[in-house]
Chains A and B, each alone.
Chain A
Amino acid sequence: MSEVRTLQIDGKDVAARSDETILCAAEENEIHIPTLCHLEGLSDVGACRLCVVEVEGTPKLMAACTTTVEEGMKVTTTSERLVAYRRRAIEMLFVERNHICAVCVANNNCELQAHARNVGLDHFELPLMHPALPVDASHERFVMDHNRCILCTRCVRVCDEVEQAHTWDVAGRGTGARIVSDLGMPWGSSTTCTSCGKCVQVCPTGALFEKGRSISEPKARRPYLPYLVRVKERER
């Protein structure tokens, strides 16, 4: 049972259901908070940290996607500090792995690229890591390019929560973390993959793409996801 909560986001009075997140409440009121690992229809993990906001009374920054609203909350979604930190987080993703847009299949349809454009990221201050990572093209229809992966785990969640195949998971730690199919087998030899392609549709970058597509060609189809989730829920 949810009740109504009233709070302030960027000085604007808003009402939200008690089980809603700050992100939800903000979006309903056309306050835009940048997100990357969040996707409507999937559970939230608070991993990319782009949606962090300031909440009055707490010294810590809170991820808007995982923090539920509270009565009388005062939320600030944009400040000098937040803008600088978000820019840094995006820069970190760019320096961590190889994201050369000009040769990326997701060019112009990439959420990471869009974020970089929005924050005006035109150069890197941090030293590049850019390790040479493998590309798994063993699947008959799709390709997984680890060099473009930002470990948002959308693919892991859509596969587990919507398709319920749980082909994808994360292995390894720190910068050595990788998305793996089954127990680290090549995608093509996966016995759980249904080749539904949902992971390809939810990938924010060019890490997962359909074979035969060239630079800038693929357009992800994502709005279907919430409908699919609703259908699934009704089925249960």
Chain B
Amino acid sequence: MSAAAPAGAQPPRASANVCQAASCLAMGSAQVCRALEAEVAAAGLDDVAVRRVGCLGLCAAGPLVEVPEQGRIFERVLPGDPSSREGLLASLKGEARGGRPVASDPFFSRQVKVVLERCGTVDPENIDDYLATGGYEALAKVAGSMSPDEVTSEVVKSGLRGRGGAGYPTGLKWRTVAKEAGAAGKFVVCNADEGDPGAFMDRSVMESSPHQVLEGMAIAGYAVGANRGYVYVRAEYPLAAERLALAIRQAERRGYLGARVAGTRFSFHVELRMGAGAYVCGEETALIASIQGERGTPRPRPPYPAASGLWGCPTLINNVETFANVPSIIVRGGEWFASIGTERSKGTKVFSLAGAVKNTGVVEVPMGLTLREIVFDIGGGLAPGRRFKAVQTGGPAGGCLPEELLDMPVDYESLTQAGSMMGSGGMIVMDDTTCMVDVAKFFMDFCRQESCGKCVPCRVGTHEMWRLLDRMTRGVASRWDLEQLESLAGMVRAMSLCGLGQGAPSPVFSTLRYFRDEYVAHIDEHVCPAGSCHMGTAEPAAAGVSPA
């Protein structure tokens, strides 16, 4: 189902790689693919292949089609508009015109692709494509010729840290799980419950290279001594789930998953579990409860899942991107991986650039690149006439970083020090029309709705903070409210049970730290400097608690 290439050994002279990830599909890239096939056939280009591939990165300009032989990416190739395909067809015939040159366009040329190596080059629904690019070589090498300890050592050497946000050293986590006895078995869980507003990089990886994630999981299973794995993917990602399910079936049929992985005695079975729409289920203990069929609420740690996770068994939980890094680390070695990035943050990081930048999309950059390089060079800056105001990283537990910090390197420590966090990789750029009090209110509203309701500080605290922020954005708040907000934020951060509540006050803290004058303007002068708040409006009906 991959290529419309002519039969025979002759490789196609040129190919049109049509993006089939969610955002391009929403713009009609499936129809584009069919139209293109017809047009290629009509033009008699039987040495041209039309291929379905994963995410090409520049989601803002979809549907995207790449002609790798020409090194060009064509934007907005719309299904109902044949003229949008003229340049593309010319390019397939061998003329170099139109499109964006991949080699010289900073959006593409400034990126370093490890996780996204196969995104946009392989057909996500075809295991042969993955195998042709060296897929499952790492797993075969690991299961065939390495001891579990050697595998873990390689990951330790790589310096890879958890890409879900907290940045816990992955090798150390693997070693901890490997050392557990686990008489009743162990588990590997892939956390694919990506829920931060504005984050979509894990979705992109799963939709574009699902086998890479599965391979990473199987390698982890071998290293820690687990024979069963779960991918916990949110139901809001139906395409990712569908492609993962297909990938699991294909890998089982080819002997890369299931009993006797790659012909060895190691067995590894993977199952999909769908999340039912609760953000808190991205928290590892809530995720475990959810897989077990219980209400998705966190429990206090310790015991950590590494000691007591799924059904009380030692459980390794890593994020999608973390697992997707693993095959490359095994093939090219931990030292190679450690040579990318900074002293304490190794490798690359995938970000989903969103908000007020020109080039919205999924990007992968080496750790240590500055925010300015990401937002202005790769992101292409803001729309003409708009001024950069802040960039939000880390989702609802992260913070807003102002212009002064644009030259800060992006790594775990710098971001945390600046009052934000790496988070899973959402990066939302805001311009001068965005009110920072309103941003804090937005994230607090998110946390208040997503709080599971188990512990008091998070359940009541996020709601009360949201109400105070709401008063501010309506111009009816006093200095007393600001004092209350700060005191509440400190209490909720310190007292909450899990990361959701502990992180919920972060957007408030960071906006107060860098944009306090905006709060003061709302309160003292009843003015919204960005002009986005409707001052003097009545309390909305939703301010109270909705009755049962």
Contact = CB atoms under 8 A, between A and B. Distances in A.
A176 B548 contact: yes
Contacts of B85: none
A151 B462 CA distance: 16
A48 B456 contact: yes
Contact of A88 (B297, B459, B491, B546): B491
A85 B484 contact: no
Nearest to A84: B491
Contact of A176 (B495, B502, B545): B545
Contacts of A96: 459-460, 463
Interface string A128-152: 0101111000000000001000110
Contacts of B546: 131, 176
Contact of B300 (A66, A125, A173, A175): A66
A175 B491 contact: no
B34 interface: no
Interface string B450-475: 11111111011111100110000000
Contacts of B121: none
A218 interface: no
Given A46-B300, A67-B300, A89-B495, A134 B451 contact: no
A172 B546 CA distance: 11
A174 B462 contact: yes
A173 B491 contact: no
Interface in B497-548: 497, 502, 544-548
Contacts of B484: 125-126
B457 A45 contact: no
B13 interface: no
Contacts of B181: none
Interface residues of B, number: 38
Contact of B495 (A45, A61, A95, A146): A61
A169 interface: yes
B295 A45 contact: no
A151 B545 CA distance: 15
A170 B299 CA distance: 15
B496 interface: yes
Given A85-B491, A93-B460, A95-B464, A173 B449 contact: yes
Interface centre among B302, B450, B456, B547 (most CB of A within 10 A): B456
Interface string A169-186: 110111111100000000
A92 interface: yes
Interface in A32-73: 45-49, 52, 60-63, 66-68
Interface of A: 45-49, 52, 60-63, 66-68, 81, 84-85, 88-89, 92-93, 95-96, 125-127, 129, 131-134, 146, 150-151, 169-170, 172-178
Interface of B: 278, 295, 297, 299-300, 302, 448-457, 459-464, 467-468, 484, 487-488, 491, 494-497, 502, 544-548
15 contacts: A46-B497, A49-B495, A49-B497, A60-B502, A63-B300, A67-B300, A89-B491, A92-B460, A92-B461, A96-B459, A127-B467, A129-B463, A174-B453, A175-B453, A176-B545
